[in-house]
Amino acid sequence: MAARSIQLTPLALETRTVLPTPEAAFHLNRAQQTLRLWACREDGPIRPLRINGRLAWRVSDLKRVLGVA
């Protein structure tokens, strides 16, 4: 099976307001499961939105945590 290639926008240039877990995990340099645990335990540095049963991570929160202007 071929690996999927994801084109990621640099966080400073991101125009979307939320990102899915795989992209947020990439920017935070964390495993996707780590972000899911943060959401479940509500103990991480950022909290996700839940949209139709899926997690969505605010770009503004990611930028704040990473110090991106």
Residue 28 in any domain: the answer is yes
pLDDT for the residue numbered 5: 67
Task: Give me the number of domains the chain comprises.
Answer: 1
How many Å apart are CA 65 and CA 6, to the nearest integer? 23
Residue 6 in any domain: the answer is no
Choose between 11 and 4: higher pLDDT.
11
CA-based nearest residue to 32, from 16, 20, 17, 45: 20
β partners of residue 49: 56
Query: Which residues constitute the domain of residue 49?
Result: 18-66
How many Å apart are CA 35 and CA 60, to the nearest integer? 16
What is the per-residue pLDDT across 21-51, written as a single tens digit (0 to 9) for each? 999 999 999 999 999 999 999 999 999 999 9
pLDDT for the residue numbered 4: 66
Q: How many residues appear in the chain? A: 69
